[in-house]
Structure 1
C-alpha cells in the first residue's frame, strides 16, 4: 500500500478530530492572519493580526461549548450568514467541534431565499455578520418557528431585540461557552469523539442557475477526505501561506479550511474583493484559490495599462505576452511528448529578457512568492492560462462541485497542463458515460439532497456513482478536460450541436475588454451573443478614442465600441466552423451581477435569467432571420 493510500484509508472521522490533533501537535505555530483596525493610526488604517493554533482552539472551543449551552444536539443545524472573515472560520470550526452541522448561507442571498434555506434546513441557530444580515432573518421570523438563537459577529451599540429569537453577540456566546467549560471541562473532547464519519457536517445550498437551491448533504467524512487528499496531492504544504478571499459559503472556500487544518499551514483571510490587489503584496501568499474571472480581470487590467502607456511600452507588453504564451505552450507540448518542459534555446533567451522587463512585475503584484493558484468554478481561457504560466504564475485549474465537497481533480504544481482540470485526487474515480457525461465516485461525494430523495436518485446511483451533468474526456495521461455543461449544449434549427462555453472561452481569450459573454442559438438559425464589457478596461480605451467624459452606458452603446468588439468577434469567427460563428451580437448597457440575480455568488452566469431579462434584445438579433 502506498503512503498516500495509507493516509487516505486511515483518515480521521472528521475535521474536528483533525483540528484537536493539529492544536496538540503545533500549538504555538501561526494558524490565521486577519485584518484589524490599526492602533494610533490614520482613520481606516489596518494591520494584520495573527492567531496561533492554541489561541484559535481557545476561541473555537468556547464557541462550541456556547452552542452546547444553548441545548443544541448532534447534527442539529447552525447557519452562518456572513462574508469571508476570521469569525466565519471560528464559527464553522466551533459548529464542527460541537458535533452540530453548519448551514452555509451566502451573505448576498435575499431575505426570501434566506428564509427558505433556514426553514428547509431546520436551522435552530444562526451566526450573522451584522444587523443587515439579521434583518433578513427577522423579516420572515414568523415562518421560522424552529430558529431560536442568532449570534452577531459585529456587535451593535444595542443588541437588537427580536420577538421569539434570542440575539447574542459572538463575545457573549464565547463567555457562555467558557462558563460551560468550567463546569464541563471535557465537553468538547467528548463531543468530538462521538462524531461518526457519516454524521451530517454541512448543508450547502446550490446557488444553481435554475430553480430553488437544493441542500447538499456533506458528512464529516467528505471534509476529512478533502483534507487528506489536498495534503497527499501536494495542493497544500505545511509551510504554505494561503490568501483566502473566496466566499466561505461556497464549497470551494469551505474545503480549503479542511486542508489547512490537516497540513498546519497559514491562512490569511479577508473576503473584501476590492482589497485583493492591496492585500497580495502584504500577505505574500504561496498559494491562492480563485475563480477564472479574477485572472481575466487581472490580465485585462495589465493589457489596458500597457495600452494606455502606448508606444514602446505597449509593444514590449504585446511581445512579452506572446513570448509567455509560446514558452508555456511549447513547454507543455514537450512535457506531453517527452516528459520534459525543455524549450528551444532562442525561446528560452526571449523568455529570460521578457522576464526582466515584464514578468517580474506581474509576480510582484501577486506578492512574489506564489507557487500556484488553484482555479475553479468555471473554465479559464487557454490563452490566459498560458500567459500566466509563462509569466511564472501558474494557474492550476481544478474541477469539482458542491455535490463532491469541492475538488475531485486538480492540476499538480509540477505537472500542470493548461486546458485541463488535472488528474483525479487520490481516492476519487472518474468515468466517462456513453454520452460523454463525467461520472464520479469517491469519499467526497455527497450523501444526497436534503429532503429531496427524488432529486437525489436522478444524479446519484445506488453504487455511489454521481452524474455531474458536465461533458468531458480523459486523456492517455489521466488528465480530465471539461468540454461543456450537458444542459448547456444546444442544437441549432439546422441540426448542428453547439458547445457555447467553447466559443465564449475563445472570445475571452482574444478580447481584453470583455467581462461576460453568452452565446445564444438553441433552436435558432444561427448563433448570436450578449456581451458585457469590463468597465476598468473599456473606459481608459474610451478616453483615448475621443469618448472621454461619457458614462459607461454611453461608451458601450457607441458605434466606436461596437466596431471595436466587431473586430474581436470576426477574429474568433475565423477559427470556428460556419455554424458556430456569431452572426450578430449586442453589447449590454451594464455588466451582469449577483444583485440582479444574473450571476451566482460564485460568479457563474445564470443563462435562463439573462435570456429572460434580455429577451427583446435577443429577438431583435433574429428579426428577419434567414436560414444560415
Structure 2
C-alpha cells in the first residue's frame, strides 16, 4: 500500500490479494452473511454516485463548506461501505455512538451542520426525527434496517447512473492525502464534545506504521470486530485489514462475543481493558464452580501464570510446569477465544498488568498500546515479538512518531498522525498543538529509553488539603484487580484524605453472599450488610499497602447502581466521567468527609 494516499484506495488494493468471498461479514437473521471484495467495491462505487445524485457535495473541499453525513449505527458491513462512499464523493463522515445522550446528539448534528443521517434502526430514526425541527441543515434520515416512514439506504446506490458514477470517480481522483477524511467528536470525560479533524494522511500514516507489526500467519487470518467503529482505533484497524486483505467479521453484540469467537476463530481483535476484565471475571467464576482435583488444578495454573515474567530467564522447573498448565488448563482458555488468537490489541485506557501477565503466560499475547483520537490514534504499542514487549508499559513508539516528556511529566507528541485540528475551534487547537507538539494531557515516562509508560491523566491528578499530590488512576486500577470490584473512582481534591466510590461486581458478590449464607433482596440491601462491608474493608486495606500514605484510601462508599454509558457515568470507551459521577453522588462523597 505504499502508493495509497487516500483511505478509499483500499478498494484498488483488493486485486492485490486473492478475491475474497468474505471481506466483510455479519450475522443477518441468525446466519453469517458475507460480502465479497468485488461486491463491496461495486456497492461503494454506486453508493458514492447515489450520494451525488441526492445532492451531496464536497464543494471547494474546505472543511467547513463540505457536506457532512452522520452515521449512528453499531458495527456492520454497511457502516464501512458508507464510510468509503462518503469519502469518494468528497463529503465528510461524522460517526456518532448509538448510545449517545440526546442533548449531545443535537449538539453534534448542529455543530457539524449535518445534511444527511444514516441510522441503524427505528429507535434511532425516531430520536433523530424528534430533533430534526431544530436542525436546519438536516435534509434526510436513512435507515439500514427497514423502518416505516424512513427511506432505506439501498435506495441510494439504485439511483446511480453512468454519468454520476463517472462524476464520483473524477471527484475521488481529485482528493488529496492532506484533505479532511472524517470528523470524530470526542465525548470526553467533561465538557462539550470536540470535533477532531483527521485527514487521509493522518490515518494512513498510522496504518503504514502499524503494518510491520502484524504477527506472522501460516494461513489467511480473520479478524473479529466489536469495538465500535466510531472509535478511531477500531476504524484505523479496519482500514488496515482492508488494505491487507484480512476478512473482518462483526460480532452481533457484547453478549454474543463468546459464541462469535468460537464461530469465527479469529486471529486477532482489538478491545478496551474493561472487556478483557470481563473475560477474566467469567473465567474465574467458572474456576470457582469447579470442585476437587479440577479446582486445585485450575488455581495451581492460575498461580503459576501470576508469576510469569517476559524477557527474563525463568527456572527450568517453572517453564516445565507452565507448559503442563498450558496443556491442561490454558488450552481451554484459548479454545474459548477460537483457538487461533495471535494477539489481542488493547487500547483506550490502562490495562491491569496482572491480566496482561496472566493471558501472556496462557499463550494469548496481550499487546497494549496508547494513543488519542487526536493522534489517529496509535502513538506506541507493545509488539508481537517478545523482545519489544514490556509489562506495565504501552510499548515502543511507532516509526515516524516523536515524543517529548515536558517538565511537568506531560507526554508531547509530534508526527504525521497528529490531527488537522478541532473543527471550528482554532482556540482549542492552539491550546492542544503548540510549536508542532500535540499536548496529550497524559503523564508518562520512557523506560530504558524505549518503552512508554503512562502514569496518569494530567487533569485528574489532585492535591489533598495537606498539599500532597495523588494520581488516582494507579489506585483505581489496583482496586479493580479484585474480582469483587467493577468500578472505582478515587477522589480527595482539597480534602484531608483520599477516599473512593466503589461499584461492586455484583455477580461474584451475590455468589459469595449466597455461599456465606448472607440474605439479600437487592443490591441496596447487599451493600449495607456488615459482612459485605467487612469484605470490602479487607480488600481496600490489602491494596493500600502498595501505595504511599497520601494515596491510601481511608474511606469508601459502596454504590448499589452499576455505572454505564446510558446513564452518563461512563464514556463510550468506558472511561469514568468524573464530573458526572461527583455530581450524581455528591451526598455520598460529602458523607465520607463529614466530621
In the superposition, the TM-score normalised over structure 1's length comes to 0.90
2:380 and 2:397 in contact (8 A); partners too: yes
Structure 1 residues 620 and 295: CA distance shift in structure 2, 3 A: same
- Aligned-residue offset at 1:324: 0.8
1:227 and 1:262 in contact (8 A); partners too: no
Structure 1 residues 486 and 252: CA distance shift in structure 2, 3 A: same
* Separation in structure 2 between the aligned mates of residue 81 and residue 588 of structure 1, nearest angstrom: 32
Aligned counterpart, 1:457: 430
- Aligned-residue offset at 1:536: 2.8
Aligned counterpart, 2:261: 280
- Aligned-residue offset at 1:559: 1.9
Which residue, out of 301, 325, 337, partners 1:354? 325
* Separation in structure 2 between the aligned mates of residue 476 and residue 523 of structure 1, nearest angstrom: 35
Aligned counterpart, 1:571: 542
1:210 and 1:608 in contact (8 A); partners too: yes
Matches for 1:593-608 after TM superposition, within 5 Å: 593-608=564-579
- Aligned-residue offset at 1:493: 1.3
- Aligned-residue offset at 1:234: 2.4
Aligned-residue CA RMSD (Å): 1.8
Aligned counterpart, 2:284: 303
* Separation in structure 2 between the aligned mates of residue 31 and residue 230 of structure 1, nearest angstrom: 20
Aligned counterpart, 1:234: 214
Aligned counterpart, 1:130: 121
1:236 and 1:263 in contact (8 A); partners too: no
- Aligned-residue offset at 1:310: 4.7
Q: How many residues align?
A: 585
Structure 1 residues 591 and 447: CA distance shift in structure 2, 3 A: same
Aligned counterpart, 2:73: 82
Q: What do the CA deviations read for 1:579-618 (whole angstroms, capped 9, x no partner)?
A: 2111111110121111111000111110111111111111
Which residue, out of 201, 204, 207, partners 1:221? 201
Which residue, out of 45, 68, 71, partners 2:52? 68
1:244 and 1:271 in contact (8 A); partners too: no
Q: Which deviates more from structure 2 when the two are superposed, residues 544-553 or residues 10-19?
A: 544-553
* Separation in structure 1 between the aligned mates of residue 505 and residue 244 of structure 2, nearest angstrom: 38
Which residue, out of 5, 15, 20, partners 2:7? 15
Q: What do the CA deviations read for 1:59-111 (whole angstroms, capped 9, x no partner)?
A: 12222111111121124211101112222112112212222110011111122
Q: What do the CA deviations read for 1:355-388 (whole angstroms, capped 9, x no partner)?
A: 1231111111111110110001111111111111
Structure 1 residues 297 and 557: CA distance shift in structure 2, 3 A: farther
- Aligned-residue offset at 1:235: 6.3
Aligned counterpart, 1:107: 98
* Separation in structure 2 between the aligned mates of residue 188 and residue 553 of structure 1, nearest angstrom: 59
- Aligned-residue offset at 1:445: 1.1
Is residue 56 from structure 1 mapped to residue 47 from structure 2 by the alignment? no
* Separation in structure 1 between the aligned mates of residue 50 and residue 165 of structure 2, nearest angstrom: 13
Aligned counterpart, 1:159: 149
Aligned counterpart, 2:27: 35
5+ residue gaps, structure 1, are: 1-6, 38-45, 161-167, 335-341
- Aligned-residue offset at 1:305: 2.2
For the residue of structure 1 that corresponds to 2:307, the secondary structure is: helix
Matches for 1:404-419 after TM superposition, within 5 Å: 404-415=375-386, 416-419=389-392
Is residue 175 from structure 1 mapped to residue 158 from structure 2 by the alignment? yes
Matches for 1:389-408 after TM superposition, within 5 Å: 389-408=360-379
- Aligned-residue offset at 1:159: 2.4
1:227 and 1:261 in contact (8 A); partners too: no
Q: What do the CA deviations read for 1:254-310 (whole angstroms, capped 9, x no partner)?
A: 111221122111111125111111111111110010010011111122222222335
* Separation in structure 1 between the aligned mates of residue 44 and residue 145 of structure 2, nearest angstrom: 17
- Aligned-residue offset at 1:194: 0.9
Structure 1 residues 557 and 60: CA distance shift in structure 2, 3 A: farther
